[in-house]
Amino acid sequence: MNGQNNPDKCARKEKKKMKTPYKVLISILCVIVALNICVVTTFAVLYFRGKKQALPDARPSIVPPSEAEAVIDGDDEDAVYYLGEKYRYNENIATCLVLGSDNGNKSENEVGAKGEADAVFLVAFDTQIGKVYIINISRDAMTDVDIFSTDGFFVRTERLQLCLAYDYGTDEEASSKNVAASVTRLLYGVPVTRYMSLDINAVSVITDAVGGVSVPEYNEKMSEKTGGTVTLYGEDAIHYIQRRDKSVLDSNNTRMQRQTDYIRSFAKVALESVKADITVASDLFGILGDYMTTDITPSLVTYYATNYITKDGSLTFLSLPGSVVEGKDGYAEFEVDPIKTFEMILSVFYIKE
């Protein structure tokens, strides 16, 4: 009997052997579930942290231009009466000032070495419905600019071209914030929540990152559209948004149009990728790391991208209304139209009641 096999014992051994593959499979599934939970948890943390950071802490203090003959309700500072209609400031609006600067001399941390802001865009994002406005502001717009000494001490405020505000900063952060202050003045108190200042070389890198950007083709002087399209890569994208004929007084207007054409086309390509994979937004943000100065966080990027693709998801481009005149030194000066600008502010930042 001792030399014979015990059937019950063999069955138990076989049963134990059968359990091992299932244990491995269950272990693998547990790891996958745990990883997915980590990803979802990380995403949720980034999203809600970004949501908290997105909106301004203080109530905006918008003062309508005298030309508009608008009235602010003394008992309700968020309400404005204009042409018989009542408007209330939209507290769900988050803003980000996007600057494109020339290189300047970044090795010098002093005023006057940072170059100028060649491209100025104010992005207004209605976080309630996911609608985005991109306002193209002329670099030549005349507004109050804070002037600082070479040591960084405030000297005075002077009416200058907006682009010069970038030069009066001891570093890229100070320069960006100085432009933001001037934009707020230009727009009668509209708050600038965040800023992003991009080195011109960022355009080349980000264009290649999305596989090229197709834009309307312009003639050799970059002054008129040909009716065709061209796909930009690398430095060609820089030339497309930067070149202009300085002998023409209003040449910056045409350049602004090309900048808008580029951003419109880039946004279309990038957003298609983000809709397919939300992590693309943070990936593109990371690519820009060496070429930008910003107070935007990965949490904010996650929040903005998710909010946009899951809600309205519309993108509207606007230009600050006004006209170009020749200044006393022969330079172009963009004079903002106060009434049209205020009406644009009402349409973007206010809700009609």
Residues 6+ apart with CB under 8 A from 293: 171, 172, 173, 176, 196, 197
Contacts of 165 (CB under 8 A, 6+ apart): 117, 145, 146, 175, 178, 179, 181, 182
**HEC readout, 223-266:** CCEEEEEEEECCHHHHHHHHCCCCCCCCHHHHHHHHHHHHHHHH
Of 298, 299, 273, nearest in space to 285 by CA: 298
* Domains of the chain and any CATH numbers: 55-199+277-352 (3.30.420.590)
Q: In angstroms, rounded to a whole number, what is the distance separating the alpha carbons of residues 247 and 261?
A: 23
- Note the pLDDT of residue 110: 53
User: Looking at the DSSP assignment, which residues form a beta bridge with residue 53?
Assistant: none
Q: Are 200 and 101 in contact (CB under 8 A)?
A: yes
CA distances from 257 to 62, 143, 348 (A): 28, 22, 20
Question: What φ, ψ does residue 188 adopt, rounded to 5°?
Answer: 60, 30
User: In degrees, to the nearest 5, what angle opens at C-alpha 200 toward C-alphas 196 and 201?
Assistant: 110
CB 162 within 8 A of CB 148: no
What's the confidence (pLDDT) of residue 303? Answer: 86
Q: Which residues contact 346 (CB under 8 A, 6 or more apart)?
A: 80, 82, 87, 352
SS3 call for 289: helix
Q: Which two tokens stand for residue 37?
A: 């939970």
Most distant CA pair in the chain, distance? 117
What's residue 28's pLDDT? Answer: 53
| Dist CA 179 CA 165 (whole Å) | 5
Residue 183: what pLDDT?
A: 97
**For residue 269, which of 281, 279, 257 has the smallest C-alpha distance?**
281
DSSP state of 92: T
Radius of gyration over alpha carbons of the chain, in Å? 27
10/19 Cα distance (integer angstroms): 15
**Per-residue pLDDT of the chain in tens (353 residues, 90 and over written 9):** 444 555 555 444 444 454 565 555 555 555 544 444 444 444 444 444 555 566 766 667 889 999 998 988 767 777 899 999 999 999 899 999 999 987 554 545 555 556 789 999 999 999 889 999 999 999 999 999 999 988 888 999 999 999 999 998 888 999 999 999 999 999 999 999 999 999 999 999 999 999 999 999 999 888 899 999 999 999 999 999 999 888 899 999 999 999 999 999 999 999 999 999 988 999 999 999 999 999 999 888 888 888 888 887 789 999 999 999 999 888 999 999 999 999 999 999 999 98
> How far is it, in rounded angstroms, from Cα 325 to Cα 331?
8
pLDDT at 247: 86
Three-state secondary structure call for residue 70: coil
Look at residue 61 in the predicted model and tell me its pLDDT: 80
**117 to each of 94, 164, 196, 326, how far by Cα in Å?**
22, 7, 12, 20
For residue 257, how many other CB atoms are within 10 A of its CB? Answer: 15
Q: Is 83 helix (H, G, I), strand (E, B) or coil?
A: coil
User: Could you tell me which of 241, 117, 134 has the C-alpha nearest to residue 182?
Assistant: 117
Residues 6 or more apart from 103 whose CB is under 8 A from it? Answer: 115, 199, 200, 201
Measuring CA to CA, which residue among 299, 353, 350 is closest to residue 49? 299
